[in-house]
Chains A and B, each alone.
Chain A
């Protein structure tokens, strides 16, 4: 009997531990399964956890929702997969939230799950990384992909004097945003202005430090005349900055792209990367928060021409985007040696 007793005791211990864990975290955390006080609940689902860019986006969303007097639920799976996001959407449907804002890991794969949510009256919008037009009511776009593609080509062209070989170092080959931007870069390069610039390769660093470093080193060796690298992803641009720094290639190979100011401060201050672009992730989340509120209040329905006031960002209008609609935040913001010191502390 002693054994039996021990087993039950141990099980009890395990679960009191679990219960303790869950209790503390639900107290500190977001959304303690609320609805007691009749507050509306707005959820945001980011790509994956432990990503500072996503943390800032969720911060912005929370700011907006709390300023409006509602409750924000912040969720992110441990792996950046669509499967994990489907599971989270189901959990949110069960909690009967009022709205779901999603940063999609895959544009198409969330369609059945998000449709189910919309069928139950939940307002669905996407932000940053869009889901397809059938699975959302509106998309909050951080910046026009055409502009994002164009400014990076303009930047690299200016840095290398309008002539020479360039390469792109992207995230994974499946990354929707990056693929759209690279597409726009290729479009921009067709302009006769850039006829002397040759895009030699699109390499994929998979947003892994080690792979991005190997890919950058390989670019430098395979194309000894390479003049510039565009890396439209934080891990990629920082890894490329590190390689160029270590190999002493400053001013020989130029670097630009999209990256977090905190990650890139070192390389912008040292001049390895003259300047780069990004938007404010806090603002993207903030705008999505107001858009979600407007959808729930039915101030907007997601149709072209609808207008709403987005807190400090002022009035925003819904515009067309392919077969769906979107709200545009603004133009990408330029980070260079003059302003990086100020922004590296922010995000």
Chain B
């Protein structure tokens, strides 16, 4: 597994072994170009806005990474996000005195339940992840429209404490960023230093041998979809709090953005590999694009094309650099 490489050695060697170095270089070049086009890009205010706007995406990317590592995919997260966001918003609308912590817990619980159902269908029902999550995407989205009765929950129906979740800050750092950082630290520990975490990689890189070595395959699969659901639920509450509005079609199609962030960050869609550092870079690249494309003065009709080209160039460049890195490593390892 890649994560075990390069524990020792000099800094330079470590950088050379870092598989996403191409992506990192690309992000730096891209930032320089954007800064040259609009000098307000690398200001404290803009960077703060950008990270705040990317926090939700990066939270979802962690869950998606675990899912993809086990050779799965989850297309239902946008719908789960909308469902839990909507129910949380309806609840705080009905009970304005509800503590925001409870609202977050409620949303996360709804997400967890969605994830448990999805995980059971995939692990116990033996349905392929793409079918199960595609089906659940329709179901959760339909449920969201049904519980809301076609209405939106608007800013004036939400108490200030609830909206404060996303606008508040602790030690000068926005809550959304703090929550994202906490999640990253927790999951970094979880996947690198716990038995269950390592088992996720084992299941992804070779399901058969993982089974033979006594890993409970079904349990691990169930677990990753539950985690993904819980994170989507949390993201749903944060989303609704941030934009102060809950709609039935919230985050429609967002799953593709999350998958893009993961795959950009070097998570292998065939399973078995993916690193926290990679998805941070992937999320950052998507965040830069969403933030910077409106900033550089291009025609709005060119935005889509430019966005697609940037993604393609980034993955191709990263692949080429990786080839070089792997070649180096291989030559050193050759017996």
The interface of chain A, by Cβ under 8 A from chain B, is 48-52, 54-55, 78, 173, 202-204, 209-211, 213-215, 217-219, 221-222, 224, 235, 238-239, 241-242, 246, 260, 262-263, 265-267, 269, 344
Closest 6 CB pairs of A and B: A50-B248, A218-B294, A266-B155, A265-B156, A209-B243, A266-B156
Check A49–B145 contact: CB distance below 8 A: yes
Residue pair A210, B243 in contact (C-beta under 8 Å): yes
Judged by a CB distance under 8 angstroms, whether B205 is at the interface is no
Interface size on B, residues (CB 8 A): 35
CA distance A219 to B291 in the complex (A): 11
B268 interface contact, C-beta 8 A: no
Give Cα A246 to B300, complex, Å. Answer: 25
Q: How far is the CA of A287 from the CA of B141 in the complex (A)?
A: 32
Query: Across the interface, do A173 and B243 meet the contact criterion of CB distance under 8 Å?
Result: no
Q: With A51-B150, A55-B151, A209-B243 in contact, is A218–B291 under 8 Å at CB?
A: yes
Q: Give complex CA distance A237, B49 in Å.
A: 19
B156 pairs with A269, CB closer than 8 A? yes
Select one of B141, B245, B249, B295 contacting A263, CB under 8 A: B245
Q: CB distance A204 to B300 under 8 Å? A: yes
**Is B295 touching A218 in the complex (CB atoms < 8 A)?**
yes
Enumerate chain A residues within 8 angstroms of B245, measured Cβ to Cβ: 209, 238, 242, 263
Beta-carbon contact of B243 and A213 below 8 Å? yes
Quick check: A263 and B155 within 8 Å, CB to CB?
yes
Q: Contacts of A239 on B, CB cut-off 8 Å?
A: 243
Q: Which residue of A lies closest to B53 (CB)?
A: A214
List residues 295-312 of chain B with CB under 8 A from any CB of chain A.
295, 297, 300-301
Say whether B290 contacts A210, CB under 8 Å. yes
Taking the complex as formed, is B154 at the interface, i.e. its CB lies under 8 A from any CB of chain A? yes
Q: A50-B247, A242-B243 are in contact. Are A222 and B291 (CB under 8 A)?
A: no
Given the interface pairs A210-B290, A263-B155, the reply to whether A222 lies near B243 with Cβ below 8 Å is: no
Interfacial chain A residues near B145, Cβ < 8 Å? 49-50
How many angstroms between the C-alpha atoms of A78 and B142 in the bound complex?
9
Question: Could you show 27 A-B contacts with beta carbons less than 8 Å apart?
Answer: A49-B145, A50-B150, A52-B152, A55-B150, A173-B300, A202-B300, A209-B245, A209-B250, A211-B290, A213-B53, A217-B49, A218-B294, A218-B295, A221-B45, A221-B46, A238-B154, A238-B244, A242-B155, A242-B244, A242-B245, A262-B152, A263-B152, A263-B154, A265-B154, A265-B156, A266-B156, A269-B156
The reply to whether B156 and A344 contact each other, CB–CB distance below 8 Å, is: yes
Contacting A at CB under 8 A, from B146-171, are 148-152, 154-157, 167
Name B41's closest neighbour in chain A (CB-CB). A221
Q: How far is the CA of A186 from the CA of B233 in the complex (A)?
A: 43
Assess the B154–A221 pair: CB atoms within 8 A. no
Q: Is the CB of A238 within 8 A of B294?
A: no
Bound-state Cα–Cα, A203 to B297, Å: 11
User: Among residues 53 to 71 in chain B, which have CB atoms less than 8 Å away from a CB atom of chain A?
Assistant: 53
Beyond A217-B49, A242-B155, is A52–B150 a contact (Cβ under 8 Å)? yes
Interface residues of B (CB under 8 A from A): 38, 40, 43, 45-46, 49, 53, 141, 144-145, 148-152, 154-157, 167, 239, 243-245, 247-250, 290-291, 294-295, 297, 300-301
Q: How far is the CA of A36 from the CA of B196 in the complex (A)?
A: 63
CA distance A217 to B294 in the complex (A): 9
Q: B82's closest neighbor in chain A, by CB?
A: A50
Q: Within the assembled complex, what's the spacing in Å between the Cα atoms of A173 and B303? A: 12
Residues in chain B near residue A51, CB distance under 8 A = 150, 248
Query: Which residue on A lies nearest to B245, using beta carbons?
Result: A238
Tell me the complex Cα distance, A217–B46, Å.
8
With A and B bound together, what is the CA distance between A33 and B49 in angstroms?
A: 52
Bound Cα distance from A202 to B297, whole angstroms: 11
Asked if A203 and B300 make an inter-chain contact with CB atoms under 8 angstroms apart, the answer reads: yes
- The docked-state distance in angstroms from the alpha carbon of A219 to that of B154 is 24
Closest to A219 in B: B294
Cβ contact within 8 Å between B155 and A221: no
Residue of A nearest to B248 (CB): A50
Q: Could you say which residues of chain B place their CB within 8 Å of the CB of A78? A: 141
Known: A209-B245, A242-B243. A50 touches B155 (CB 8 A): no
Alpha-carbon distance between A344 and B154 when the two chains are bound, in angstroms: 10
Q: Which residues of B have CB within 8 Å of A52?
A: 150-152
Looking across the interface, which residue of chain B has its beta carbon closest to that of A341?
Answer: B156
Cα of A215 to Cα of B249 in the assembled complex, Å: 20
A218 to B34, CA, bound (A): 13
Task: Give complex CA distance A267, B245 in Å.
Answer: 12
Which chain A residues lie closer than 8 Å to B301 at the CB level?
A: 173
With A50-B247, A50-B248, A173-B300: A214-B290 Cβ-Cβ less than 8 Å: yes
Bound-state Cα–Cα, A122 to B149, Å? 30
Of A49, A221, A241, A246, the most chain B CB neighbours within 10 A belong to A221
Selected from A173, A210, A221, A246, the residue in CB contact (under 8 A) with B295 is A221
Bound-complex Cα distance A239 to B239 (A): 13
Complex Cα–Cα for A217 and B48 (A): 11
B40 cross-chain contacts in A, Cβ below 8 A: 221-222, 224
Q: Which residues of A contact B291 (CB under 8 A)?
A: 214, 217-218
